[in-house]
Amino acid sequence: MSGFRATTALGRLLGAAPTSCWRSLRLVFTLPFAFLLLEAAIPRASADVGVILNESLDEDFDRISSTGHSAIFFSRICPESPVKLRLCRPGELGSVMSNYVNMGEDQSYEWNIVPLNIYLYGVEDPRNRPLFASYRLKHLLEERYRRKYLSDYCTTESCMTSTKSEWREMVAATMIRGVYIFAVSTTAEQDQQLIAEFNNSVNKNHFNGVTRNCADFTKHIINLYFPHSAHADYLNDFGMTSPKAVARTFTHYGLHHRESDFRVMHFAQVPGVTRRSRTVRAGTEQLFHSGKLLVPMALISYYTVPVVTVSYFTTARFNAQKEFEHHPAAQMPTSDASADFREQIAGNDADWKRFRRSLDSLAEESGLRKTGKESNHFFKKFDEEGAPSIDENGAAWMDIERDGKPTNVGLSASNVLARSSDSALSYEFLLARVGHILSSPARGRETMIEFNEDWARLEHAALNTLEKNRMVLANAQTGPSREK
């Protein structure tokens, strides 16, 4: 009976899906993810530069300040090495440049530059991007990057082994935080000028949290391209430059210059067991939202509360997720600002509700997990009992014992449905992933393009399970007759 119920539930999943099953399956194998959001498939006369706004980590000082981190995206500039620039070659998707308090490398560099895919997911090929986030898996990707790219720059024991070496922050960032990129178009001359300037300048760290922090670094580079396009907000950030202020002022610049082709890309934090990142806030905004800070301030200096409130509401309000929903990046030029176009990227409430109902239908009849809480429980047990590994191509695997027997499951987009990946466990894993995404707030959800791929994988895994259940039922029914 339980097998029949599972079979029926899977059938209902396939029948109730918002998109055609076979169309979805076709998407798994033919839709070139290779970052549709980054315009990889259609060549354009111009390239992009963008302000990266990383969500706040729930650790150290960032837990109190909620400032997040700032970096720079280039679509036409790529790394010749972690400290040298060049123009990208065909097929390369750009890079990310960032600076930190201490990279931890043999020399005290001010900045490093890494391929975009390495920064976002820790792998060169987006088809091998991990679908599951854990600190152990991120560490494996970091070590792979160190051996492959940093061997000439990271030879000391502290650089190789210390978790405080901040070059690690530039590998698989989406495992620990959500990422927004606010981009505008650039010319080849602008990119070549920046390459020449940085390759000919001294790369020596002068990081200062007050006057030369990551946001100051981003602001400087963006203003080299477009003078006075990015600014600090000294009033709301108490005399410092914050990542949110740079993103907000650059967004205003892009919206006021239509020729800039302003657009926003969003890369949600990968579902898994890593701590969930938080919304980035300005200084006064954090005071306004944090009772731990606001209450003492009100008791000590009550007249500052209305000042902080007025300052925030009149000058500092900015919602990265809303900007993405209004100006989503896509494979085509974003001059098409129609609602239909935007919803293809960000989705709409009706689309997300249909997916939730389809998943509810499956869970109601089969009792399988679907909520965020249940997904988190699966991920935690999955992480505790399994041992992650990385193959030569960068694809992730989880070795785990199931029913007393060792097996493994693919954790990357390229191998989760592979023949060598345990089909039943892959199905459970994909169910947990989909349940997590559908239970997340808007900023925690991936794009609708990406989610359609997730749903197609789930349908494919469901078909595999359905076929196996049918075989089990068929064997159960024919078994007794054979004995007779």
Cα Rg, the chain, nearest whole Å: 24
Tell me how far apart the alpha carbons of residues 214 and 200 are, in angstroms, rounded to a whole number.
21
Residue 432 pLDDT > 50:
yes
Q: 422 or 12, which is more confident?
A: 422
Domain shared by 329 and 396, yes or no = no
Residue 331 pLDDT > 50:
no
Domain shared by 114 and 170, yes or no = yes
pLDDT in tens, 11-35: 544 444 444 343 344 444 444 444 4
Domain shared by 332 and 362, yes or no = no
Residue 250 domain boundaries: 47-282+318-346
For residue 315, give Cα distances in angstroms to 10, 245, 307, 322, 419: 51, 10, 12, 17, 55
- Domain assignment present for residue 290? The answer is no
Least confident range from 69-78, 107-116, 302-311: namely 302-311
pLDDT computed for residue 463 by the predictor: 84
- Domain assignment present for residue 429? The answer is yes
Q: What size, in residues, is the chain?
A: 484
- Domain assignment present for residue 404? The answer is yes
| Mean of per-residue pLDDT scores for the chain | 83
pLDDT computed for residue 66 by the predictor: 80
Q: 477 or 260, which is more confident?
A: 260
- Domain assignment present for residue 327? The answer is yes
Tell me how far apart the alpha carbons of residues 111 and 204 are, in angstroms, rounded to a whole number.
8
pLDDT in tens, 288-300: 666 555 555 554 4
Q: 368 or 250, which is more confident?
A: 250
Domain shared by 463 and 377, yes or no = yes
- For 405, residues 6+ apart whose C-beta sits below 8 A from its C-beta are none
Tell me how far apart the alpha carbons of residues 302 and 287 are, in angstroms, rounded to a whole number.
13
Domain shared by 274 and 406, yes or no = no
| Count of the separate structural domains present in the chain | 2
* The residue type at 230: A
Q: 481 or 132, which is more confident?
A: 132
- Domain assignment present for residue 307? The answer is no
pTM of the model: 0.86
Residue 55 pLDDT > 90:
yes
Provide the CB-side half-sphere exposure for 468 (13 A, CA): 11
Domain shared by 12 and 103, yes or no = no
Tell me how far apart the alpha carbons of residues 105 and 174 are, in angstroms, rounded to a whole number.
22
pLDDT computed for residue 379 by the predictor: 96
Residue 64 pLDDT > 90:
no
Tell me how far apart the alpha carbons of residues 88 and 93 are, in angstroms, rounded to a whole number.
8
Tell me how far apart the alpha carbons of residues 265 and 325 are, in angstroms, rounded to a whole number.
9
Asked if 375 and 271 count as a contact pair (C-beta separation under 8 A), the reply is yes
Domain shared by 163 and 22, yes or no = no
Tell me how far apart the alpha carbons of residues 452 and 36 are, in angstroms, rounded to a whole number.
13
Burial class of residue 469 (count of CB atoms within 10 Å of its CB; 0-12, 13-18, 19+): buried
Residue 342 pLDDT > 90:
no
